[in-house]
Structure 1
Amino acid sequence: MARLALGEALTNLVWARATSLADVRASVNWMYAAKMKGEGAAMWDAAISLRDAMIDLGVACDGGKDSLSMAAAAGGETVMAPGNLVVSAYVGCPDITQVVTPDLKLGADGVLVHVDLAEGRRRMGGSALAQAYDQLGNDCPDVTSAALKGMWEATQSLLAAGHLSAGHDISDGGIATTLLEMAFAGNCGISADLPLPAHAADQPHGALGSLFAEELGLVLEVASANAQAVLDTYKAHGIPASVIGKVSAGRAVELTVAGAPAVSGDVAALRDSWEETSFVLERMQSSEETVSQEQAGLKDAKAPKWVLPFTPAFTPADKLAASDKGLAAPMLDTLASAAVAAASAAQHCGPDPLLRGGLNGDRGASDGGSSTLQQQLAALAQLGGFLAPGGVPGRANGRP
């Protein structure tokens, strides 16, 4: 579980160009009924596994929290939540334009590539499908540090080269869910053929293993002209990757396993089934008319087109260096991250940012101490504008 938690964090993070794998930091949340028999030992095992994987990858944990009372007595019995580990990772992003999203974009020129981090295994233990049938299974997915490192390095190099147009990690629901979610997001059709499980221990699962095993991996959309270069890059890093299908300009979805039909239908109809539970809940709290309009609108949804009415340019250096610039104040009463980001944006545009305490008249002061109402009003008169980066007045980062 610990290796998978770390692996899923990295397969979510890899879609943005990062400074390096060694710069990745993680917050870890441990949720165990630690006082129950065997749970403390299980938590210890998870901690050792996570430590070893992080050392192998060169990433670090710099914080987190624990919830170690995940059991309660009720009705004469003790109800215990299963142990769980959540890893949230972050890293520096040197270029915010080098980011890949899951929505398919290339139409008929799109090729679907499966990046397999499981060495061909298709284990069903703990999967959403197994739980739907009230089962747990025996063998659960796993991943090696070498596979995660190779995946990271190869994907990051392809991001830098501009060879990826869309991508999505494989997790809950398996590769079938991943493919459908990409088609739903792009509002387009796909056709894909998956092989049957090759490993002897997984063969009894048949097509269900191919579709719904939650082994870690990626699905990519690449242009046909770049497909071979993408495959070669993963191969050079020791990671199996193969073409499993293509994107279409139409709306038909066709998933097969070893040529046998598995999932088919119109993308809008399949998405309606996928989101039906959400719409049932929404109808309980909204009007039938508005929910029906929203549901119907998704059938022909298109991505918004963003158009700037001007050509962006850097603020002239002489304006940034001027001593008589106006002031702008972030509308937060704390040095929250949002206020700092807003202040940085203001500084790069021209006005001097006035942070908390700066209302005593000192530009850029971070802690002005106490000031009289008259002093604050005098400082307000100097402001050229306010910035509203978010948050709730009277709270820090939206927290009480």
Structure 2
Amino acid sequence: ADGREEAKAVTAPLSLIITAFAPVSDVRKTLTPQLETGCDSVLLLVDLACGRHRLGGSALAQTCKQIGDEAPDLENVESFREFFSVFQSLNQRGLLLAWHDRSDGGLFACLCEMAFAGHCGLNVQLDGLETDPVSLLFNEELGGVIQVATDKLDQVCAAFEQAGLADCVHDIATVQKEEQITIHNNGLPLFSASRAELQQAWSQTSYHMQALRDNPDCAREEFDAIAQADTGLTANTTFDLDEDIAAPFIQSGNRPQVAILREQGVNGQIEMAAAFDRAGFNAVDVHMSDIISGARTLDDFKGLVACGGIPYGDVTGAGAGWAKSILFNARARDVFEQYFKREDTFSLGVCNGCQMMANLKVLIPGAEHWPHFVRNVSEQFEARFSLVEVMESPSILLAGMAGSHMPIAVAHGEGHAEYHNDAQRQQVKSALRYIDHQLQPTEQYPFNPNGSPQGLTGFTSDDGRATIMMPHPERVFRSVQHSWRPDEWQEDAPWMRLFRNARVWVG
């Protein structure tokens, strides 16, 4: 501005990003770092560096303001190939319980992260490895840690020996239910700290960034929850999970039509259609432009489902905007109003579809007490796997499910239920609520991802024909869609009952 010119040079290395894809033949065989605590087991270090402990470029070196002289490298391609082959075989045979790679932070970080995921402790023994404990624990050479049940240990070791990798495998630790992580070397204690202490230290940087970006109160609640005793996700149903109550209706060959309604940007219609198709419906793709143009009405449908996703780019108030495209269009308003009045129909709104239907409550009989949905208390989009309880309600879609609790997918930025006054909140027909891992209704973040009062996140009309909810049952109607599930679940997940209830109600 003052006429002076100043030349500046910025030197930055170019980054090459290589993206690789591979098919997964069976997602049920996926291994995670979460340690199993319900059986006797050992943790094995698979050291593909064959005893090399180079610290160059490691997290440890950087914390000491160093770079180092020698960085880890792949020395033996054939050994790496053999490891991958053996690992896949062991996993297919069901001989592995958990797995985590040795990467940033080295073996110490790898073991700690596995303990964090399992909410457990570890007894780490470095005896017999005959090397400097610091370089052993913090090098970032190729390798990883696998958890193996004690009664399967011989089979696992034999497989590695047959592949010529016996010298790479070391018994390194055992799981402890007491949440203490201890390290011994040559029989002497080297280090000890609680799981909570280490996990909070591990989370400090993320917590402080989150507190600046998001609602700081929510960031603090999530950080404090690390130190709490946590039983983790659980599931319990008050109905027979394996009973297909819709089977007699499917066998009849009659497939009632359900309108899978979407607006521009909606992306949940495929899963929703799949769930209703599985329950015995003929799922029909209906776009809002079909309704507005007059190309289609809802006269031939028994069900109407407003799907979730990102309509209108998921900008603030997108669900309300979707509703206004109906309310302020005479043809569309009449189509929806006539549909909702028909007593032989049901309706479901999920996520953005929930927001949309909540704004259409003037057209839906018995829905006048439904809340309005506003921005999450965390001030951020929340994509989580949350625990909910099905409440006693007249909802025809949740019939016979009251008292059940199970996980469900959550993905929304405006899911906080807002009421005009206490009278409205007391009169609303609640159907679903978030609960914590002690199975209590909660407003605590992140167990309640949007901060809705009393954890309420699903509602129904007075006669139960219209139900809205912020979570996504269509994303978890199969057990394989869950990131966590009980071992005894077969093909169907509990949320499949919701779609089958619809088929039974239609008759």
Q: Does 2:168 match 1:248?
A: no
Kept in 2, the 8 Å contact 1:127–1:136? The answer is: yes
CA distance in 2, matches of 1:112, 1:187: 16
Q: Does 2:218 match 1:298?
A: no
Q: Does 2:159 match 1:233?
A: yes
Kept in 2, the 8 Å contact 1:255–1:264? The answer is: yes
Aligned residue number for residue 275 of structure 2 = 345
The alignment's TM-score, normalised by the length of structure 1, stands at 0.65
Change in CA separation of 1:276 and 1:324 when aligned onto 2, cut-off 3 Å: closer
- How do residues 254-265 of structure 1 correspond to structure 2 at under 5 angstroms? 254-257=182-185, 259=187, 261-265=189-193
Q: Which has the larger radius of gyration?
A: 2
Change in CA separation of 1:358 and 1:238 when aligned onto 2, cut-off 3 Å: farther
User: 2:66 aligned to 135, 143, 149, which one?
Assistant: 135
Aligned residue number for residue 278 of structure 1 = 206
Aligned residue number for residue 166 of structure 1 = 98
Kept in 2, the 8 Å contact 1:328–1:351? The answer is: no
User: 2:295 aligned to 353, 371, 375, which one?
Assistant: 375
Q: Does 2:393 match 1:393?
A: no
| Consecutive unaligned residues in structure 1, runs of 5 or more | 1-73, 361-370
Q: Does 2:262 match 1:331?
A: yes
Change in CA separation of 1:118 and 1:373 when aligned onto 2, cut-off 3 Å: same
Higher mean alpha-carbon deviation, 246-255 vs 74-83, is at 74-83
Aligned residue number for residue 334 of structure 2 = none
Identity of aligned residues (%): 25
1:158 aligned counterpart, secondary structure: helix
Change in CA separation of 1:113 and 1:341 when aligned onto 2, cut-off 3 Å: same
Q: Which has the higher helix share?
A: 1
Deviation at 1:173, TM superposition (A): 0.8
The alignment's TM-score, normalised by the length of structure 2, stands at 0.52
CA distance in 2, matches of 1:223, 1:358: 54
One-letter amino acid of the counterpart of residue 306, structure 1: A
CA distance in 1, matches of 2:207, 2:80: 37
Deviation at 1:317, TM superposition (A): 8.9
2:125 aligned counterpart, secondary structure: strand
Aligned residue number for residue 82 of structure 2 = 150
2:32 aligned counterpart, secondary structure: coil
Corresponding residue pairs, total: 304
Aligned residue number for residue 118 of structure 1 = 49
CA distance in 2, matches of 1:339, 1:83: 37
| Consecutive unaligned residues in structure 2, runs of 5 or more | 1-5, 315-410, 412-507
CA distance in 2, matches of 1:323, 1:271: 55
2:21 aligned counterpart, secondary structure: strand
CA distance in 1, matches of 2:288, 2:207: 48
Change in CA separation of 1:186 and 1:264 when aligned onto 2, cut-off 3 Å: same
Pick 1 or 2: higher relative contact order, CA cutoff 8 A, min separation 6: 1
Aligned residue number for residue 354 of structure 1 = 284
Change in CA separation of 1:220 and 1:78 when aligned onto 2, cut-off 3 Å: same
- How do residues 192-211 of structure 1 correspond to structure 2 at under 5 angstroms? 192-194=124-126, 206-211=132-137
CA distance in 1, matches of 2:295, 2:108: 63
One-letter amino acid of the counterpart of residue 302, structure 1: T
